[in-house]
Amino acid sequence: MTRLGIIGFGNISISLAGLLQTQLERRLEHLTIVCRPEYSSQIKQIMKEEYNDIASEYCIATSIEALINNKPNLVVECAGHDAVFEHVPQILSAGIDTVVVSIGALSDVALADSLYNSARKGNSKLLLPSGAIGGIDLLASLQQYGELDVSYRGIKPPAAWSGTPASALFDLDQLSKETVIFRGTAREAANTYPKNANVAATIALAGAGFDETKAELVADPKAITNIHEYTVNSPLASYTFRVEAKPLKDSTKTSATTAFSVLREIKNCIGPIVI
């Protein structure tokens, strides 16, 4: 039994709720979901109708203070970069381990420093899931040696780039071939495309760093999945990792595997075996 907190209740959180309902060996002791006040009633109804048996008790809160007062063992952030800025340092300082899904937020140097300092202050852990990519364990191992050369390429359907700076640069609806919409560093990618470049940020943090990791983002009208590919060259080993991930049903920007990655982090925290 454990006590869990979730910040936000968008596509990833809803997918995670479904997994918690079917994949845990036993229900949570307590679940707190933090949302904006205007969504509170709607989420209460959804929880009552669809996810009522996830936890023995659950609470829909509208403040981080209420979340902390409920004494969760673990908190999962699923609400975007702003939520990381506004809430995660306070949670870590309170001594609560926190899974950050919006990893691209750590491209901000001041925020990254704040999170690390808060974790040290609270003797807590900032947990960064692998999300839509794999091979991160090997990449993080090679980082210990250094001398890494890392390049990332993310390919998504044009619709996944709607509402981003690419919309102003390209007529996404009329693309007829694979088109590079961004080329630069992982830090620039995470800052410019915050909802689409969390994988680039994950690879950067595990490997060569934000400014040393090269990133390329592509819109491809023939793509039916979100494709993430990166190449690593090291004195110890070289490899290329590629995954074709189906997007979430209601969000072409996010790979469906992301929620499963978060579920794995939760199971590693509450279960007897960590893998």
Active site residues: 228
Three-state secondary structure readout of the chain:
CCEEEEECCCHHHHHHHHHHHHHCCCCEEEEEEECCHHHHHHHHHHHHHHCCCCEEEEEEECCHHHHHHCCCCEEEECCCHHHHHHHHHHHHHCCCEEEECCHHHHHCHHHHHHHHHHHHHHCCCEECCCCCCCCHHHHHHHHCCCCCEEEEEEEECHHHHCCCCHHHHCCHHHCCCCEEEEEEEHHHHHHHCCCCCHHHHHHHHHCCCCCCCEEEEEECCCCCCEEEEEEEECCCCEEEEEEEECEECCEEEEECHHHHHHHHHHHHHHCCCCC
Total Cβ atoms within 10 A of residue 244:
13
Cβ-Cβ contacts under 8 Å for 163 (sequence gap 6 or more): none
Question: Nearest CA to 11 among 261, 225, 259, 246?
Answer: 259
Total Cβ atoms within 10 A of residue 108:
18
